[in-house]
């Protein structure tokens, strides 16, 4: 299950699988010029790829923010819309973590009656509050504030993600229902400093 524990919603494993494949495919295309690609997504770039894996990062977001599993599908919809609106951009290891935490946070604001604020998501995601505020605005403007996802579109993306795993011999059916989760004390992590950040959060393994 690509590193995601069985106690977490299957959507995390499905999304992690899709994002890891996307990153691997994009980085295979650009090769050594990876840092020069995805110019429209430069604001989401870190200096280096974070040490935390995509599955563990998604698991962390789910564990601490208590967002509904549907937020991860809608977050994926936002990322997919982003790369289609800006075809010069590529989701790679330098930007995938920031894209995920930003898109899931925005999705939570759209879907969940109760959600944590940006400061809490920043702490969970390993970025500063100021940076996440900036990333949220960047995402919204790049999407032209197109953040509404119909039930038909949502279901179509669920089916697509499930087929993506099925085609690769790891078929899983995702939960459609909202699944609550308890919130524990958040430990500090960092997704590494960006090129413009002077004081990144402390990294705790």
pLDDT digits (tens, 9 = 90+) for 132-172: 999 999 999 999 999 999 999 999 999 998 887 776 655 55
Could you tell me which of 138, 136, 141 has the C-alpha nearest to residue 104?
A: 136
More confident residue, 190 or 127: 127
Entry pTM: 0.79
Evaluate whether residue 31 is within a structural domain: yes
DSSP 8-state assignment for residue 47: S
Answer for the pair 122, 128: CB distance below 8 angstroms, yes or no: yes
Of how many residues is the chain composed? 205
**pLDDT tops 50 at residue 198:** no
Evaluate whether residue 26 is within a structural domain: yes
> C-alpha angle 193/49/183, rounded to 5°?
75
5-14: b (≥16 Cβ within 10 Å) or e: eeebbbbbbb
The predicted-structure confidence for 66-107, as pLDDT tens digits, reads as follows: 899 999 999 999 999 999 999 888 999 999 999 999 999 999
80-94: b (≥16 Cβ within 10 Å) or e: bbbbeeeeebbbbbb
Q: What share of the chain is helix, strand, coil (3-state, %, to 5)?
A: 55, 0, 45
Evaluate whether residue 157 is within a structural domain: yes
Q: In angstroms, rounded to a whole number, what is the distance separating the alpha carbons of residues 61 and 105?
A: 9
Evaluate whether residue 183 is within a structural domain: no
Evaluate whether residue 192 is within a structural domain: no
For residue 33, give its domain range: 10-170
Q: What is the CA radius of gyration of the chain?
A: 16
pLDDT at 10: 87
Q: In angstroms, rounded to a whole number, what is the distance separating the alpha carbons of residues 19 and 56?
A: 13
Evaluate whether residue 116 is within a structural domain: yes
The predicted-structure confidence for 163-180, as pLDDT tens digits, reads as follows: 877 766 555 565 554 333
Evaluate whether residue 69 is within a structural domain: yes
Domain count, the chain: 1
What integer best gives the mean pLDDT of the chain? 81
| CATH code of the domain covering residue 152 | 1.10.472.10
> C-alpha angle 30/11/25, rounded to 5°?
10
């Amino acid at each position: 299950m690509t590193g995601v524990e069985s106690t977490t919603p299957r959507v995390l494993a499905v999304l992690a699988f899709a994002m890891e494949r996307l990153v691997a495919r994009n980085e295979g295309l650009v090769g050594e010029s990876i840092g020069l690609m995805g110019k429209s997504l430069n604001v989401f770039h870190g200096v280096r790829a974070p040490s935390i894996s995509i599955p563990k990062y998604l698991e962390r977001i789910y564990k601490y923010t208590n967002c509904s599993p549907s937020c991860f599908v809608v977050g994926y919809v936002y990322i997919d819309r982003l790369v289609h609106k800006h075809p010069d951009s590529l989701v790679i290891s330098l930007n995938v973590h920031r894209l995920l935490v930003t898109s899931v946070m925005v999705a939570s604001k759209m879907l969940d009656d109760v959600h944590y604020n940006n400061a809490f998501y920043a702490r969970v995601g390993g970025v500063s509050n100021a940076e996440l505020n900036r990333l949220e605005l960047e995402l919204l403007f790049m999407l032209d504030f197109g953040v509404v996802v119909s039930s038909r579109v949502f279901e179509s993306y669920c089916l697509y993600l499930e087929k993506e795993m099925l085609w690769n011999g790891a078929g899983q059916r995702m939960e459609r229902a909202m699944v609550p989760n308890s919130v524990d004390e958040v430990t500090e992590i960092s997704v590494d400093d960006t090129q413009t950040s002077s004081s990144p959060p402390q990294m705790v393994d």
